[in-house]
Amino acid sequence: MSRNEGNIDRALRIILGLGLLALVFVGPQTPWGWIGLVPLVTGLVGFCPLYRLIGINTCAMKS
């Protein structure tokens, strides 16, 4: 499992994930906020399975 996300992509995923998770605890307190776990985890790990399937690689390093 090699990295396929660049630094900007990872940062945006982490921010989006945290923002969606915030919906569970503050604001409308909707369970839909748990979807934020997906971008948060992929951002922290640096690997997106969907990117692998469709052949996208935003990482600057060749891995």
13-25 residue pLDDT tens = 999 999 999 999 9
According to the model, what pLDDT value does residue 60 have?
86
**Any idea of the CA torsion for 41, 29, 15, 40, to the nearest 10 degrees?**
0
Confidence of residue 27 (pLDDT cuts 50, 70, 90): confident
- Does residue 31 register a pLDDT over 60? yes
Encoded tokens for 61: 């390093």
- 3 state SS for the chain: CCCCCCHHHHHHHHHHHHHHHHHHHCCCCCHHHHHHHHHHHHHHHCCCHHHHHHCCCCCCCCC
Residue 63 has pLDDT above 70, yes or no: no
* 5 exposure class (CB count in 10 Å sphere: 0-12, 13-18, 19+): buried
Question: What's the mean pLDDT in 38-53?
Answer: 96
Domain limits, the chain? 7-54
